[in-house]
Structure 1
Amino acid sequence: MIITLIFLLLQLLASLSMGSLNCPTDEAIPPQFHLVRECQRASADDALSLENTSSFEDCANLARELHGLALNYAPGGPTRHRNMFIQSNHGSHGRILRSRLTVFEQPAEFFNCHVLQCPQNSTFGGMVNDSRFDYYSLHGRPTTLRNYSCVPEVGLFLVYTNPSSYLNASLQCSNSSEFSGSLAHIASESRTRALSQWLMDFNRKSRPVLEAKPMPIIFLAYVGLAFNRTTSLNAHDFRNAQHESLICFLYRAWDVGHPALGQQKANESCVALTPQGTWHALSCERQLPFICEIFTASPRSWKHEAELDIGPNSVAKCRND
């Protein structure tokens, strides 16, 4: 491990003397949680954490630390101390129900901050009217796409099974009218492992079923990593869809014999992920499925007043009482 780190540091120092790597910096704006639903909360059955925090920012910081993609937060105050939607359940029935359930079976009663693995999808099927809470997501209002997948603690992704060249795959991800995104970023162990497991699960679900048309099995899928002789600084300078160099990152998952060297590398300069969690360098003209990553909403792109998804009846009830 130490030898690997020294080798990567030497690569980085050599490349810095040759030009810009466009590495991500610590000064980057931390991911922002955007208010999506007032007076509603998402199910916290599979929450990453249930806590009591003194402020929304403390709750958001906890969510960032745990790589949560959404959260419920109860701001407190005189008008938000009880759930106005279940007034009929107050009294003896409410006390009996509360005493029979554990603390973690009724998180809304005991915790004001719920850090969630994934955001709600476009149907908001898991939402509960609760005037004590508001619901926030890194992705803002959900995309209208219905076939995207959430990889918990990583992000939202969309797999295209129709084969395409690397260039066309990249353009389809970045120019979509339905979402803002790019070919998936994989330069970390957590991302490579999670996405390869996702491919494995996808293949398992897609195997032939009686009288059902099977989906194609994916053995390789393009992701956002490629070598460009005109912009790369040295033989190890693969770059992701954001033009950040692989030299900036410590993680590698190259399969045996990848990437190729010398003249062969010029013909095998795009990267695909395998279900086994390895990277293959291959010809960019090869027709393969590909994985798009859906970006989180940026502060500039999210307009609270124009895009807040208020949900059925919840805000009217909250604001009128």
Structure 2
Amino acid sequence: MQCSRIHTPDPKFHMVGSCLQSKGTIIGYGFQNDLQSCIDYSVQRMGLAFNYRRLTNNKSKLLSDDNVNNNEVTCEVLDCPEYENFTSLEPSPNYNYYSFYANPLPILTYTCLPSIGLFNLHKEHVNYTQAADICKEEGGDLAHILTDSRTIAISSFLRQSFKGADISRKLAYVGLQDVNGNGKFQTPLEEPLTCFPYRAWAPSNPKPVNKHHYCVAIDTDKMWKTVKCGMKLPFICELYPNGPFDSTNITLPESGCE
């Protein structure tokens, strides 16, 4: 499969709240003259959500070239989305809130790794196939690790989650597998490892094909290790971006619209 033809999810920002503003951590802000510019800026800053101010002070007139103030902040980029019942949203007459993750979590044990995504560490021990099935049921897949920022963040997450335990021996399944037993690893989305330049193999890994170590786990030292897929380990799920917003099972704070 050619790298340029790989199918991956196309994450989109969805409006979650009109006249609502997240008070999450801002990692970038400034004047953007339209919504698409704010979206592009948020992607550039690796934001997972943003607040966008489009109305003027009278809250009823769209910004135009005649009333634009280039010193005005119209775009606030957030490192994490609202994901715990949207509790950090506050009424605001000026801002609308947008997120990659527009719907409530499937379970409340997900954690945001800033600028990376939403992840859930399952401490129960299961084999690789069972782990993958559970992650799919939650609306995601085993965690994608094929960049340095992801490997570092996910390994640190594993270490922090097992703090106080014998962390030096902790491993957790992630989304990388030699599906056909031929030494060619791929992600759950069938992206070949060869399409990514980053590697974090532990010494003596990956194991030779004849050892039948076809599944990959991450350790607490930012390394990847191959193991037999029947081995029972904890595992880390990554939630896929979702939307549009569905208000059926969530009540947002009262809107600040006037």
- TM-score by length of structure 2 reads 0.87
- SS of residue paired to 1:153: coil
After TM superposition, give the deviation of residue 121 of structure 1 in Å: 1.8
CA contact (8 A) 1:73 1:134 kept: yes
Q: What is the rounded CA distance, in whole Å, between the counterparts of 1:273 and 1:216 in structure 2?
A: 12
Give CA deviations for 1:32-85 in whole Å, capped at 9, x if unaligned: 1100011110115x2110111101111110111111000000112464279xxx
Q: What is the rounded CA distance, in whole Å, between the counterparts of 1:308 and 1:38 in structure 2?
A: 18
Q: What is the rounded CA distance, in whole Å, between the counterparts of 2:154 and 2:130 in structure 1?
A: 21
1:115 matched residue in structure 2: 77
- SS of residue paired to 1:198: helix
2:97 matched residue in structure 1: 135
Change (3 A) 1:254 1:193: same
Give CA deviations for 1:195-253 in whole Å, capped at 9, x if unaligned: 0111112122xx27xxxxxx9997100001011226xxx53x10111111101111110
1:32 matched residue in structure 2: 12
Change (3 A) 1:274 1:305: closer
Alignment partner of 1:220 is 2:188: no
Return the match for 1:258 from 191, 205, 216.
205
Q: Which has the higher strand share?
A: 2
Matched-pair identity in %: 29
2:233 matched residue in structure 1: 288
CA RMSD of aligned residues (A): 2.7
Counterpart of 1:229, as a letter, is N
Pick the structure with greater CA Rg.
1
Return the match for 1:160 from 102, 119, 122.
122
After TM superposition, give the deviation of residue 146 of structure 1 in Å: 1.4
Q: Which has the higher helix share?
A: 1
Gap regions ≥5 residues in structure 1? 1-19, 83-108, 209-214
CA contact (8 A) 2:49 2:79 kept: yes
Give CA deviations for 1:113-156 in whole Å, capped at 9, x if unaligned: 10000001232221111010010100112314211100001000
CA contact (8 A) 2:185 2:193 kept: yes
- SS of residue paired to 1:48: strand
Alignment partner of 1:272 is 2:217: yes
CA contact (8 A) 2:32 2:74 kept: yes
Gap regions ≥5 residues in structure 2? 62-70
Q: What is the rounded CA distance, in whole Å, between the counterparts of 1:306 and 1:125 in structure 2?
A: 14
Counterpart of 1:286, as a letter, is M
- SS of residue paired to 1:131: coil
